[in-house]
Amino acid sequence: MFANSALPDTPGLSPSCTWVEHLQRAAAAHGDSPALTLLGDGENETAKVTYAELDERARSIAAHLQAAQILPGERVLLLYPSGLEFMVAFFGCLYAGVIAVPAFPPRMNRNFQRLQCIFDDARPTCVFTTTAMLSKRDAAPEMQSIPWMATETLSIHTAGHWQPPALHAGSIAFLQYTSGSTSAPKGVIVTHANLMANHEMLRHAFAQDASSTIVVWLPLFHDMGLIGNVMQALYLGAHAVLMPPETFVTKPVRWLRAISRYRAHTSGGPNFGYDLCARKVTPAQMEGLDLSCWKVAFNGAEPVRAETLRNFSRAFSSFGFRETALYPCYGLAEATLFVAGGTPGQIPVTRGNGASPGSDKVSCGRGWLDSEILIVDPQQLTELPPDTTGEIWVRGPHVAAGYWNQPEATSLTFQARLAEGDDAPYLRTGDLGCVTQDGLWVEGRLKDLMIIAGENHHPGDVEQTVEASHSRLRSNASAAFSVEVDGTERLVVLAELGRPEKLPEKSVSPPAVENAETLRNEILKSVRQGVSEQHGISVHDLVLLPPMGVPKTSSGKIQRHAARRLYLDQHLKSRPVS
């Protein structure tokens, strides 16, 4: 068992009963202070809102919902690009007692299958979106049975007609749909009490207050972007600076420039974001950066790689970035967001011999405040001793209420009990890990665990080895899984093939033309050698795919079960090596 208390309470920041009460108090205390600023192109301010304006706009949205007789407890589907309109609509739903359902907006006829699953499960009363997004509804005929509304066209002058709903700590604030990395997305029921508990944990864990500016490039429909960044800033009475995710992906230095410009205390994202910066930001782009303000560079949502932390720290140490700012953490939607993290100002703890890329593990810190973390034998339902791998179980006020409309799944996941011990339920995370004196070490998904030749192998470890084995294989773009061949479980790997490294600018010699078959054999040889040396198993099949060929969730997690289905159904289009 493993828990921790940290900072004393900051005066004036005692958690209130509901998020609506808390935001209204923040509006009263910080009225003219900037709440949210949007860098629409990743660089220039295109919109901003103060605390008083945010409260007024949220009340106006809520008043429209009340006038339309959309009652507390009904659902509203939110389809927005990352920006201020999404946040205003989200808070408007909360102010009306209506259950918000954030979802990834469809693009180019993609993501409609996931969106349809959410629509069918949540059964929303209406869709809130932007004028530009209204045209998308023609591609979703099943969703045209309910009204769609562009909220930026609604008058703000109705704010005075808002009537506060009868909310309490246990009222549902919104449904956070899971990423669907191992199954269909499920709606996690997040209450006001869950939000307040998790925000207080984050405040302590990140050691931040009203002066702690937070820079956000993560999508706002996702829990890390919404809760861990924007709502956390508003909980503190601080300032959040937003940029659309695509502006970061297309030019990663924009993120670092925003941190430098706004003197951000906190910013972060999944491991791939740090890897992208270390690989793509050029020395010329770094000129003028001052990252000395950056105190918490959190890294979560996917496996944290020690090599990425080292590369990022080396790349930007000359520009004020300190290794002590690196902050590996662990969380999941079923726990509202945050479960465990390190101590700010301390260098992340790693273990391993560093003999090969991907061989080192990273500690994700410890639980905070009333959070309790247990490592349990998933079959025997008994607590395991320290440094023993088992399933991660969590208990505390931040653990969500269950899954929307899925009582059986709720019982299995949120109401787990030990074979011996008190009768209070735990959340079964489905993640494998262990606890040592250095914290929580997350090792992968229980459902993804491969048993080959009688031994357990975590696919994430194999994927790291594969990607490090050859320069033409893309980072965070492979899926390892097992299939049965002649009665024996064998290893299959799908890997995305990247472009050759560019020649230095002063080079005058053209690259030699690669022979496709020779290169494929070279990659296969390197992969097989690396996997054999590091894991003691052989690769049965390696399928090389083009970029975006390996299925991922909207938050960038590898969908290994979906990859396995595509492989078995022979629906993969391998890429010629060239």
Where is 545: in which H helix or E strand?
A: strand 539-545
Give the pLDDT confidence of 338-358 residue by residue, as tens digits: 999 999 999 999 987 555 555
Main-chain dihedrals φ then ψ at residue 54, nearest 5 degrees? -60, -45
Output the CA–CA distances (angstroms, integers) from residue 296 to 232, 291, 315, 443, in the order listed. 14, 11, 17, 23
- Paired with 434 in beta bridges are 441
476 close to 302: Cβ distance less than 8 angstroms: yes
Query: Which of 165-179, 245-259, 386-400, 471-485 is predicted least confidently?
Result: 471-485
Residue that has been written with the tokens 């289905």 in this structure = 565
The alpha carbon of residue 445 and the mean position of all alpha carbons in its chain are separated, in whole angstroms, by 15
Give the pLDDT confidence of 151-161 residue by residue, as tens digits: 999 999 999 99
156 close to 62: Cβ distance less than 8 angstroms: no
What pLDDT was estimated at residue 557?
77
In the three-class reduction of DSSP (H, G, I as helix; E, B as strand; rest coil), residue 221 is classed as coil
Widest Cα–Cα separation across the chain? 73
Query: Which of 242-251, 279-288, 476-485 is predicted least confidently?
Result: 476-485
Looking at residue 405, the DSSP 8-state letter turns out to be T
Q: Distance (Å, rounded) from C-alpha 104 to C-alpha 79? A: 7
Give the pLDDT confidence of 180-222 residue by residue, as tens digits: 655 678 999 999 999 999 999 999 999 999 999 999 999 999 8
- Paired with 431 in beta bridges are 445
Give the pLDDT confidence of 448-491 residue by residue, as tens digits: 778 887 677 878 888 888 988 898 898 888 999 988 887 778 89
The alpha carbon of residue 534 and the mean position of all alpha carbons in its chain are separated, in whole angstroms, by 29
Task: Provide the total of helices (H) and of strands (E) in the chain, helices listed first.
Answer: 16, 26
Range 52-66 average pLDDT: 97
CB atoms within 10 A of CB 507: 9
Does the pLDDT of residue 511 top 90, yes or no? no
Q: Are strands 338-341 and 326-331 parallel, antiparallel or unpaired?
A: antiparallel
Going by C-alpha positions, the residue among 283, 385, 371, 368 that lies closest to residue 327 is 368
Range 279-304 average pLDDT: 93
Tokens at 423, concatenated:
């009768």
Q: Are strands 99-103 and 75-79 parallel, antiparallel or unpaired?
A: parallel
Going by C-alpha positions, the residue among 507, 516, 518, 567 that lies closest to residue 540 is 567
What pLDDT was estimated at residue 204?
96
In the three-class reduction of DSSP (H, G, I as helix; E, B as strand; rest coil), residue 564 is classed as helix
Query: Which of 83-87, 129-133, 378-382, 552-556 is predicted least confidently?
Result: 552-556
Burial bucket for residue 311 (CB in 10 Å: 0-12, 13-18, 19+): middle
CB atoms within 10 A of CB 125: 19
Q: What percent of the chain has pLDDT over 90?
A: 64
563 close to 557: Cβ distance less than 8 angstroms: no
Give the pLDDT confidence of 105-137 residue by residue, as tens digits: 876 555 577 888 899 999 999 999 999 888 777
Range 435-451 average pLDDT: 88
- Sign of the torsion formed by the C-alpha atoms of 348, 385, 201 and 195: positive
Q: Distance (Å, rounded) from C-alpha 172 to C-alpha 192? A: 6
What pLDDT was estimated at residue 15?
53
Q: Quick one: three-class SS letters along 465-505?
A: HHHHCCCCEEEEEEEEEEEEECCEEEEEEEEEECCCCCCCC
Crossing angle of helices 19-30/84-96, nearest 10°?
A: 120
Instruction: Give the length of the chain.
Output: 578
Range 296-303 average pLDDT: 88
Range 375-396 average pLDDT: 95
Backbone Cα Rg of the chain: 24
Q: Quick one: three-class SS letters along 379-440?
A: CCCCECCCCCCEEEEEECCCCCCCECCCHHHHHHHHCECCCCCCCCCEEEEEEEEEEECCEE
Query: Which of 56-60, 172-176, 519-523 is predicted least confidently?
Result: 519-523
Residue 437 makes CB contacts below 8 A (sequence gap 6+) with 386
Please name each of the domains of the chain with its CATH number: 367-445 (2.30.38.10), 449-501+512-568 (3.30.300.30)
540 against 138, higher pLDDT: 540
Tokens at 195, concatenated:
């939000």
